[in-house]
Amino acid sequence: MLLEVKDLKVEFHTAEKTSYAVRGVSFNMEKGEILGIVGESGSGKSTLGLTMMGLLPSYAKYTGQVFFDGKDLIPMTFDQLRQYKGDEISVIFQEPMTSLNPLLRIGKQVEEMFFLHAHDKDDRDNPRQVPPKAERKRKVLEMLEAVGLEHPEEVYRKYPHEMSGGQQQRAMIAMALMCEPQLLIADEPTTALDADVQDQILDLLKEINEKRGTSIILVSHDLRVIRRVCHKTLVMYKGEIVEQGTVEEIFENPKDPYTQKLIAAITDETKKNVDVEGDPALEVKDLSVFYLRKSNKLGEKATKRVICENMNFTVKKGEILGLVGKSGSGKSSISRAILGLHKDYTGDIIHYTEHPQMIFQDSAASLNPARKIGWILEEPLKIMEKRGEIKLTKKERKQRVIEMLERVEMREDHYDRYPRQLSGGQKQRVNIALALMSGSKFIIADEPVSALDVTIQEQILELLLKLQKELDLSMLFISHDKNVVERVCDRVIRMEDWQKG
Amino acid sequence: MKYIVKKIITLFVALLLISIIIFVVFSVIPADASIAKLGIDATPEQIAALRAQMGLDKPLFERYFWWLANALQGNFGESFQYTGVKVTTLLARRLGNSALLSLISFIMVVIFSIPIGIFSAKRRSVVARGTMTTITQITMGIPSFFLGLLLTYLFSLVLHWFYVGQFVSPSEDFFGACAYLIFPAIAIALPKIAMTVKFLSNSIRSELHKDYVRTAYAKGSTRDGVLYKHVLKNSMVPVITFLGIIVAEIVAGSVIVEQVFSVPGIGSLLVTAITNRDYPVVEAVVLLIAFFVIVINFIVDMIYQAVDPRVKL
């Protein structure tokens, strides 16, 4: 038995409230196992890993026992636990970019492990000599190569910002493995990465487990990730384990209703690609979008960065057209060009509907934090009144807003709330309501669910599909996530088809 | 390389604009060098004669043109108040004193504010933090000249550690000059130290919430290891820019403090030159200070680039 967690409870005490992140969790883990912990954010899955590492903020209080290799980690002092961290238990995080020190070269950051853990593993009071410089470097280079980084000599000298997200995560893994820990905690290790890089990192984790025998705890909100890599899994919901077992058991025969819902969300029938007959809502002809980057250096001409070239597509009335592409491929620039928010383009963009609107990814940042929901939703109406398109009394305006709130499945009393008082999903509902407020029939949804938890994602997607049917909306649905796009879109087009290289 | 060319062009444009502004200002404010020299009892004929002799009767544009033509050749003309003395000679005599004063002040800021800033950032109790904030706020609020008056009173009149006015030039007695300058340097540096302490400790505290700090703890670093090996360098990045501003403020702030401590530097030269409407001197001093500030900015940019690999100029 490598790990034995008994009745672990974690509470966060802040001035305003006490929240219970983990409510009495117990589980065991064998050596050499890959254990998945799945749940939405706020389920306590990440807190669990951080507790073992003593990485919780100071306002967290925890009780219970965590036996690692027979020793209870919970009552340990900072200095006792410090000797385990990185040496016996390592951790990698969601954001490799920010998790690495931006000012230190990769080689230096990995090499630091030798200085931090210069003692015998069996006898922690017995100091061990730090290996000489040449040997340290050789070992670091070997490790960089082992985690699949090409040209380790170059990587050794690189700064984090000079590498891609996938490479950064590999460097994090190299650092985590340097002292040959028994347990690696991977906290959403692929969430911030592009789809194909995700797979590579997951394969690497599997390989590490098989070749080195390192036990791994894989924390993820994504059941597909868990299914791909893990032997066993725990399903967490609101700080409790609702189900645990082998991956096969959980996927084939989920017992808990929450687990069933999670699994249903990923195995749902995807919408069939159908040709929608009818008039166009949006026509895009020979669209080329680019950025002119003014040089701030003297004597250098402005450079042109081309996002897409000669793009042609039509969104028919009542259709949801998907636009997929990797992050950074310029999907959002295209949507901005279509709505006239980005001026550097050539070609024709013809709208057949009035008031085209957009739903953004960051639901929180899109809402004015200083205004109440009611004010935010009434604003489009006020603008239309100014243009003389409609005439409403104050009461009628409020009535329309409340109708819209109900349409997006929110309550009347949300009218007087501030955005910060709403959850992420609710904020996105407000954004959807805002887009529909002016009676628009064409909407661009730019990664509308990628910042949300799986179960919330599912609800928002269902809402969008429902609204699309009820109001006969046309939609351009932009996402990097193939699964999401396939779930909602009638047809799908790809960014790569209009890009060079 | 292009960056350097651009900086040099900026430098020249800035200096040109500043020199124009000074000329315009001096033509707008009442009284000129001739009146300053002859006093209010002088007859209009005397004034007219002196003005013609000084060249003040010529139109503004013409005067500026000739001044600029000479200045470009390194000739800043003669002072009005000290007749016959070249501006460059006047400056050369005093520049060393001011440079030394600014240098001592800046060294004080660096050697005191960094350790105190770290100390302050490490405090966790509410009481300790409150105390640090109060001390820095009060120190920040004291104007340098007032601090100068307090210091001269305490160290000169009460303790007799030094005597105001007994300044010896560093070329005669370097250490004697440094010892004297320590007191005006304290007056200049103290508020700046307080600002830098506050800035640095805030910077450290905000860095402590970053993801890489969590990684450093996860690697098994000690608290001090995290602070000194990871956080400090990162939190110094904004502080470098801040110190660049501080240097400019030190140079500007020394103008008044030199006066209080009777240090014959370019600051006190500037003050008397302004009262005497001695615009050749004012031009030269202000341009020198501006030149210095722009060069400091350039050096700050260079250091910034050296510290932060993400910055490419």
Tens-digit pLDDT string for chain A (501 aa): 899 999 999 998 877 778 888 999 999 999 999 999 998 877 888 888 888 888 888 888 889 999 998 899 999 999 899 989 999 999 999 889 899 999 999 999 999 999 998 877 777 777 778 889 999 999 999 999 999 999 999 999 999 999 988 999 999 999 999 999 999 999 999 887 877 788 899 999 999 999 999 999 999 988 888 988 999 999 999 889 999 999 999 988 999 998 988 887 776 544 444 555 678 889 988 888 888 776 555 555 667 778 888 888 889 888 899 888 877 777 888 888 998 888 888 889 999 888 889 998 877 788 998 999 999 999 999 999 998 888 888 999 999 999 999 999 998 889 999 988 888 888 999 999 999 998 889 999 988 888 787 778 888 998 999 898 888 899 999 988 877 887 888 888 888 777 764
Given an 8 Å threshold on Cβ–Cβ distance, is A93 in contact with B237? no
Place of tokens 């590999």: A170
β-sheet with A491-494: strand ranges across: A357-359, A442-446, A474-479, A320-324, A491-494
What mean pLDDT value characterizes chain B? 85
Given an 8 Å threshold on Cβ–Cβ distance, is B220 in contact with A161? no
Return the CA Rg of chain A.
Answer: 26
B39 touches chain A (CB under 8 A): no
Q: Which residues of A touch B225 (CB under 8 A)?
A: 116
**Cα dihedral sign, A424-A429-A434-A435:** positive
Place of tokens 């009394």: A393
Select from B125, B212, B226, B310 the residue whose CB has the most chain A CBs within 10 Å, as the one to mutate to test that interface: B212
Q: Which residues of B touch A52 (CB under 8 A)?
A: none
B303 touches chain A (CB under 8 A): no
Q: How far is CA A449 from CA A194, A394, A452, A479, A480, in A?
A: 16, 33, 5, 9, 11
Give the highest mean pLDDT range of A333-337, A360-364, B105-109, B147-151.
Answer: B105-109
| CA A497 – CA A308 distance, rounded (Å) | 9
Contact A240, A25 (CB under 8 A): yes
Q: Which residues of B touch A118 (CB under 8 A)?
A: none
B13 touches chain A (CB under 8 A): no
Nearest to B253 by CA among B189, B173, B163, B300: B189
Nearest to A444 by CA among A315, A289, A335: A335
Question: Is residue B287 scored above 70 in pLDDT?
Answer: yes
> What is the pLDDT at residue A431?
92
Amino acid identity of residue B267, one-letter, is G
Which residue of chain B is at minimal alpha-carbon distance from A111? B219
Distance from the Cα of A236 to chain B's closest Cα (Å) equals: 24
Q: Which residues of B touch A103 (CB under 8 A)?
A: 233-234, 237, 307-309
Given an 8 Å threshold on Cβ–Cβ distance, is A99 in contact with B215? yes
Given an 8 Å threshold on Cβ–Cβ distance, is A172 in contact with B215? yes
Length of chain A: 501
**Facing B210 at nearest CB: one of A84, A98, A161:** A98
Nearest to B55 by CA among B63, B47, B45: B63
Instruction: Report the phi/psi class of residue A202: left, alpha or beta, with left for phi > 0 and alpha for psi in -120 to 50.
Output: alpha
Distance from the Cα of A112 to chain B's closest Cα (Å) equals: 9
Which residue of chain B is at minimal alpha-carbon distance from A117? B220
Q: What is the 3-state secondary structure (H, E, C) of A287-328?
A: EEEEEEECCCCCCCCCEEEEEEEEEEEEEECCCEEEEECCCC
Select from A50, A112, A119 the residue whose CB has the most chain B CBs within 10 Å, as the one to mutate to test that interface: A112
Strands A215-220 and A183-187: parallel
| CA B215 – CA B175 distance, rounded (Å) | 49
Q: Name the β-bridge partners of A452.
A: none
**Facing B308 at nearest CB: one of A54, A82, A103:** A103
Q: Which residues of A touch B310 (CB under 8 A)?
A: 102, 159, 161
Query: A477 CB contacts (<8 Å, ≥6 apart)?
Result: A320, A321, A322, A323, A445, A448, A485, A488, A489
**Facing A100 at nearest CB: one of B215, B237, B307:** B215
| DSSP-assigned letters across all residues of A148-174 | T-SSHHHHHH--GGGS-HHHHHHHHHH
B309 touches chain A (CB under 8 A): yes
A103 touches chain B (CB under 8 A): yes
Given an 8 Å threshold on Cβ–Cβ distance, is B9 in contact with A95? no
**Alpha helices, H only, A32-100:** 45-52, 78-82, 96-99
Instruction: Report the phi/psi class of residue A316: left, alpha or beta, with left for phi > 0 and alpha for psi in -120 to 50.
Output: beta
Given an 8 Å threshold on Cβ–Cβ distance, is A298 in contact with B5? yes
β-sheet with A280-293: strand ranges across: A303-316, A280-293, A345-351
Q: How far is CA A126 from CA A73, A113, A158, B257, in A?
A: 20, 17, 34, 59
- What average pLDDT score do residues B13-24 get? 87
Distance from the Cα of A412 to chain B's closest Cα (Å) equals: 38
Given an 8 Å threshold on Cβ–Cβ distance, is B237 in contact with A103? yes
First-residue to last-residue Cα distance in chain A: 51
| 3-state secondary structure at position A388 | coil
| 3-state secondary structure at position A243 | strand
Distance from the Cα of A103 to chain B's closest Cα (Å) equals: 6
Distance from the Cα of A448 to chain B's closest Cα (Å) equals: 26
Q: Residues 231..260 of B with a Cβ closer than 8 Å to A: which?
A: 233-234, 237
Nearest to A95 by CA among B216, B212, B204: B212
What does the block give as tokens for A194? 């592009």
Amino acid identity of residue A71, one-letter, is K
Query: B34 CB contacts (<8 Å, ≥6 apart)?
Result: B42, B47, B50, B51, B54, B56
| CA A230 – CA A222 distance, rounded (Å) | 12
| CA A446 – CA A358 distance, rounded (Å) | 7
Q: Residues 52..91 of A with a Cβ closer than 8 Å to B: which?
A: 53-55, 78-79, 82-87, 90-91
Nearest to B19 by CA among B295, B287, B291, B290: B287
Given an 8 Å threshold on Cβ–Cβ distance, is B212 in contact with A101? yes
> What is the pLDDT at residue A175?
95
Distance from the Cα of A99 to chain B's closest Cα (Å) equals: 4
Question: Is residue B166 scored above 80 in pLDDT?
Answer: no
The distance of Cα A132 from the centroid of its chain, to the nearest Å, equals 41
> What is the pLDDT at residue A300?
56
Q: Which residues of A touch B6 (CB under 8 A)?
A: 297-298
Chain A and chain B share a number of CB contacts under 8 A equal to 81
B155 compared with A434, residue with greater pLDDT: A434
Which residue of chain A is at minimal alpha-carbon distance from B124? A58
> What is the pLDDT at residue A270?
47
**Facing A83 at nearest CB: one of B6, B214, B220:** B220
β-sheet with A183-187: strand ranges across: A89-92, A183-187, A215-220, A34-38, A232-237, A240-246
> What is the pLDDT at residue B1?
67
Q: Residues 139..168 of A with a Cβ closer than 8 Å to B: which?
A: 159, 161-162
| CA B109 – CA B115 distance, rounded (Å) | 11
Beta-carbon neighbour count of residue B16 at 10 Å? 12
A175 touches chain B (CB under 8 A): yes
